[in-house]
Amino acid sequence: MVVLSPPLFFSRLYGFDWYRGTLLDWVGRLNFSPGAPADIKILELGCGPGDLSAELARQGHNVVGADRSGRMIKRAEKLKTIAEFVQADALTLPMANNEFDAVILASLINLVPERAKLLEEINRVLKPNGVVSVLFPTSSFNGEKAEDISSKRNLGHFSAAALSVWAIFGKSLDPEDICNEFADAGFEKISTDFYLDNGLASVTACKSGNAPKQQAFR
């Protein structure tokens, strides 16, 4: 069995339709699409090897990808993209207050024990009426669910194995709990969506503020 380094593994993972498609479906519901205003500034926390950040940059957005892992950032910096990459801890970001129109996190909030502090930091760097969205596994995302998805989609061996590993070992969260935590953090207009046969969920909300709401979101 070939063991891949984490940056290479996640880069390869992004090549699978079920993974890349889910991420693009998720951000697509936030209207990150061709034709949206190009001056939207997006922060992706836990950007890994940078593939999603690069994709959003190709759509014309101003994107900063941040990850705590230096190896991930080094891999991301090799991409042919205008996205900027920064090594940073999500709990102590080196960004200014009210800097971003949107902050997105794919399978990171479920790995951070200090979620209240994470949401406080996200709130700090978001502009008034800015959008935050997090994507994470739910309790229904297990080995049986992975086998069912693999069978329905006729996934190859490595793709099915990657899905199974994520389903079995990924830390799951209850979407209702995350909605409540968003509310406690002061976010508004909280909504939930589901993906991969309800195995993944997203929670999306807006930072309160008096500025006109960006038309690019919902």
Predicted pLDDT of residue 176: 98
Q: For domain 6-138+172-206, give the CATH superfamily.
A: Vaccinia Virus protein VP39 (3.40.50.150)
Q: Which residues contact 1 (CB under 8 A, 6 or more apart)?
A: none
The conformation of residue 15, written as its DSSP 8-state character, comes to: T
Task: State both tokens at 6.
Answer: 């984490």
Structural domain boundaries in the chain = 6-138+172-206
Predicted pLDDT of residue 6: 73
Per-run averaged pLDDT (10 residues), the chain, 218 residues? 65 90 94 58 96 94 96 95 97 97 96 97 96 96 94 93 90 97 97 96 90 38
DSSP lists the bridge partners of residue 103 as: 43, 132
Q: Is the dihedral of CA 181, 183, 186, 191 positive or negative?
A: positive
Q: Within 29-112, where are the H helices? A: 51-58, 70-76
In the sheet with 200-206, reading across from the earlier edge strand, the strands are 84-87, 62-67, 41-45, 100-106, 126-137, 200-206, 188-195
Predicted pLDDT of residue 195: 96
Q: What is the pTM of this model?
A: 0.90
Predicted pLDDT of residue 38: 59
CA angle 94, 98, 99 (to 5 degrees): 60
In this structure, the number of other CB atoms found within 10 A of the CB of residue 177 comes to 11
Q: Which residue has the tokens 């997203």?
A: 202
The amino acid at 151:
S
| E strands present in the chain | 41-45, 62-67, 84-87, 100-106, 126-137, 188-195, 200-206
Task: State both tokens at 90.
Answer: 């999500």
d(C-alpha 1, C-alpha 74), whole Å: 25
**DSSP-assigned states of every residue in 138-158:** -TT-SHHHHHHHHHHHT--HH
